A and B are shown apart, each in its own frame.
Chain A
C-alpha cells in the first residue's frame, strides 16, 4: 500500500482545478446556446444580454414543431447517420476479417492501399466525387449522402487490428468444431469485436450527423437537407441578429441525439479515445 505524499497531493489538487477550468471553458458555449434557446427572440434582437435578464419562453421550441423543416431534416440525418453507420460496420467488419484473419494473395499490398486512403483529404477528391455522383444521378438521394462516408479506411484499419488481436486458436477450435468460414465469422469472431464495433459505430454516427460539407454539395433539394445544412440555411439574416433564440433551439434540438448516443455509449467512447493505453 502506498501513501500519498504532500507533494503528490498538491500536484493532484492543481490538476483537479485545471480540469475544472477546462470543463467550464468547454461547457460555457453549450450553456450559452441552451440559455439563448429559452430566451425571447424579440428581446434578443435588442441585445444578447437578454439571455441574462429574460424573458424566457418555450416558444422557440414550439416554433420548431410548427413551421420549419427541422423534423424532415432530423429524419434525413437519422436515415443518413444510421445507414452510413450500418454500411461502415458491415464493410469494415468484413474487410477487417479478410485482412486480419484470412490468407490470400495481395492481402498486404491491398491493405496498404486502403490505408493510403487515410492520407487523402476529402478536399482533394470532392470535385471528381461530385462529378461521379452527378453522372450517376445520386445527388439528392439518401444513397448519395451515405456512400462517401461508408468508405472509411480508419474503420477497416481498426477492425483489422481487432481481428488480428483475437488468438488464432479460436478460429482453429471452430474449424475443428466443423464450423464454416462464414459461421466462424458470424458466430465466433464477430461477437468478440463488439467493443470495436461500438466504438466505430459511435464515431461514424457522430461524424455522419455532424457532416456539413458533403451534404451541402450533394443535397440541393430542401427536402433532402440534413439537419446541419437545414439549420445553416435558416441563418439568412446578417450576423444572426433576428431569431437567435430560434436558431439556438434548433441547435439544441440537433445536438440531442448526439448527446443521447454519447450518454448511452459513454464507456465505449472513453475506451476509444484512450485507445487501449489503459488496459
Chain B
C-alpha cells in the first residue's frame, strides 16, 4: 500500500496568528523529505499537523489513499521521533518499544519479535532491560527510533532528532538514519534548521519561510538554483553574498549588471523581460569566485582558513559585503585588497520581489 503523503491547501492559525498559509505538498512513497527553515517558519507545526498533534484549520492531509487529518494521532499510521526523544522514563527500553503495540493489542510473541528485530537493527539489544536515565543521549535517540520502527508505520516523522546530540554523534547518527531509510524504504519526513542535515539526508528539501513554502527541490536544485533570495541566503555556508543592483542592460551572453561604486558584472543570466533594477540584487557564492588580475576589488576584513580552501570575508568599494574563495595556501592577509573574478554562469539575479533568475542550464 502506498505511503505517499498529499498535503492540500493546509492552513493553521493560533488565534489571530496564521502560522501556516495555504501549504500544498506531495511526498512520494518511500521518499526522504526534509523540512528546512529558520526557527518559527512553521516547519515543526506542519510536521505536528501530519502527526495529528495539531489540528487543521483548512485543507487536507492524505496518507496513501486515506485522508488522515480527521483521525487521532494513533490511527494515522505514522510514528514520530521527538527532539527530546520523549521516552517514558519509568519504563525499560523494551517496555518503551512495546507500549504502542500493547495499545493495539498486538500478540505478545509478535511484540517480542518486532522489538528484538528493531533492537538488533539499531544495535541496542543489550540495552533492552535498562531505563532511559541509564542511557546516553545517542542511545536514547536510538530507542526513540526503535519505538517508531516497531510500529511498522507507513511514514516516519522526525522533529529535529539530532539537535540534542554532540557534533560527532550527530554526524554518525545522520549517516545511520540515511542507512535506515535505505534499509526500510519507508516515507520519512525530517524537520531541521540545519542545512547540512538537509543536504545530506534529503531526497527533496522543502525550504520554508514565514508560513510558506519557498522552494521544493533536490538538495542540489535548492543549492544551485534557489527559487528565491531567501533560499539563496539560507542554504549554503558561507551564505550567498548579495550585491545591490543599480542598473541592468543586455550584455554579450546575458544580463550585464551594474553595482554602484563597483562597476559592471557580466552574467550568463538571460535578461528577464521587463526586469527592473530597482530593488534587485545579484547573488554570488564564494566558490564561484577566483582571485584574478581583473574583477571586483575586494578589501579583505577577515580570513577564514578551512584547510583545503580559504574564505576571504571583505567589502567592496560601495560597502557591500562579499565572501570570496582562495586556495588553501592563500597568502592574502586581512587588510589586503584583491581582485576577484566571478563565474558569469554561476551568479544569480534576484528581482525586487526576491524571485531568482539563473543562467540557462546552470547546475
**Which positions in A face B, CB cutoff 8 Å?**
167, 169-170, 172-180, 183, 187-188, 191-192
Q: How far is the CA of A183 from the CA of B53 in the complex (A)?
A: 17
Q: Which of A170, A179, A180, A191 contacts B86 (CB 8 A)?
A: A170
A177 touches B103 (CB 8 A): yes
Contact of A173 among B78, B82, B104 (CB under 8 A): B82
Could you say which residues of chain A place their CB within 8 Å of the CB of B79?
A: 176
Q: A169-B86, A174-B99, A178-B75 are known contacts; what are 10 more A-B pairs with Cβ within 8 Å?
A: A167-B86, A173-B82, A173-B86, A175-B72, A176-B74, A177-B99, A177-B103, A177-B147, A178-B100, A192-B90
Taken together as a complex, chains A and B put the C-alpha atoms of A192 and B99 apart, in Å, by: 16
Which single residue of chain B is at the shortest CB-CB distance from A173?
A: B86
Asked if A179 contacts B90 (CB within 8 A), the reply is no
Is the Cβ of B103 less than 8 Å from the Cβ of A179?
yes
Residue B73 lies at the interface, judged by CB distance under 8 Å to chain A: yes
The winner among A169, A175, A177, A180 for most chain B CB atoms within 10 A is A177
Task: Report 9 cross-chain contacts, Cβ distance below 8 Å, ordered by A residue.
Answer: A170-B86, A173-B88, A173-B147, A175-B52, A177-B103, A179-B99, A187-B99, A188-B88, A192-B90
Asked if A172 and B90 sit within 8 Å, CB to CB, the answer is: no
CB-CB < 8 A to B78: which residues of A? 176
Closest chain-B Cβ to A174's Cβ sits at a distance in Å of 7
Which residue of chain A is the closest to B89 with respect to CB atoms?
Answer: A192
Most A CB atoms within 10 A — which of B75, B88, B147? B88
Q: Is the interface of B mostly helix, strand, loop or mixed?
A: loop
Q: List residues of chain A with CB within 8 A of the CB of B83.
A: 169
Chain A residues with CB under 8 A of B149: none
Q: Which of B73, B84, B151 contacts A175 (CB 8 A)?
A: B73
Distance of A172 Cα from B83 Cα, bound (Å): 12
Q: Which residues of B contact A (CB under 8 A)?
A: 51-53, 72-75, 78-80, 82-84, 86-90, 99-100, 103-104, 147, 151
Let me know if A183 and B73 touch, CB within 8 A.
no
Q: How far, in angstroms, from A183 to B105 measured CA to CA in the complex? A: 13
Residue pair A179, B53 in contact (C-beta under 8 Å): no
Q: Which residues does chain A contribute within 8 Å of B89, judged by CB atoms?
A: 192
Could you say which residues of chain B place their CB within 8 Å of the CB of A180? Answer: 103
B137 → A minimal CB distance (Å): 15
What chain B residues lie within 8 Å of A167 (beta carbons)? Answer: 84, 86
- For residue B87, which residues in chain A have a CB less than 8 angstroms away from its CB? 173
Q: Closest CB-CB distance, B152 to chain A, in whole Å? A: 13
Contacts of A191 in B (CB 8 A): 90
Distance of A261 Cα from B27 Cα, bound (Å): 60
Nearest A residue (CB) for B144: A173
**Which one of A169, A170, A177, A192 contacts B100 once the chains associate, using CB atoms below 8 Å?**
A177
9 nearest CB pairs, A to B:
A178-B74, A177-B100, A169-B86, A173-B86, A178-B103, A175-B73, A191-B90, A176-B73, A169-B82
Interfacial chain B residues near A170, Cβ < 8 Å: 86, 88
- The chain B residue sitting closest to A166, CB to CB, is B89
Q: List the A side residues contacting B75 at CB < 8 Å.
A: 178
Which residues of chain A are within 8 angstroms of B84 by Cβ–Cβ distance? 167, 169
What is the CB-to-nearest-CB distance from A84 to chain B, in angstroms, rounded to a whole number? 27
**Contact of A172 with B86 at beta-carbon distance under 8 Å, contacts A178-B100, A178-B103, A178-B104 already known:** yes
* Cβ–Cβ < 8 Å partners of B51 in chain A: 172, 176
Residue of B nearest to A176 (CB): B73
User: Contact: A172 with B74, CB < 8 Å?
Assistant: no
Write out the residue numbers on chain B whose beta carbons fall within 8 Å of the beta carbon of A178.
74-75, 100, 103-104
Given the known interface contacts A167-B86, A178-B74, A192-B90, the answer about A172 and B53 at a Cβ–Cβ threshold of 8 Å is yes
Query: Which residue of chain A is the closest to B87 with respect to CB atoms?
Result: A173
Least CB distance from B72 to A in Å reads 7
A179 touches which one: B74, B80, B82 (CB < 8 A)?
Answer: B74
Residues of chain A lying within 8 A (CB to CB) of residue B53: 172, 175-176
- Neighbour of A172 across the interface among B73, B100, B104, B151, CB < 8 A: B73
Separation of A176 and B82 alpha carbons in the complex (Å): 11
Please measure, in the bound complex, the distance between the C-alpha atom of A179 and the C-alpha atom of B87, giving whole angstroms.
14
Q: A188–B53 Cα gap in the complex (Å)?
A: 18
Cβ–Cβ contact B80 & A176, under 8 A: yes
Which of A175, A178, A180, A192 has its CB near the most chain B CB atoms (within 10 A)? A178
- The chain B residue with its CB closest to the CB of A177 is B100
How far, in Å, is A239 (CB) from chain B's closest CB? 55
The answer to whether A175 touches B86 (Cβ under 8 A) is no
Measured in the bound complex, the distance between the Cα atoms of B85 and A167 in whole Å is: 11
B195 to chain A, nearest CB (A): 25
CB of B88 within 8 A of CB of A176, answer no
Q: Using CB atoms, name the residue of chain A closest to B97.
A: A177
Q: How far is the CA of A178 from the CA of B102 in the complex (A)?
A: 9
Task: Count chain B CB atoms within 10 A of each CB in A174, A176, A183, A188 and give the residue with the most.
Answer: A176
Q: Which A residues are in CB contact (< 8 Å) with B74?
A: 175-179
Q: List, in ascending order, chain B residues with CB within 8 A of A192's CB.
A: 89-90
Q: Name which residue of chain B comes closest to A183, CB basis.
A: B103
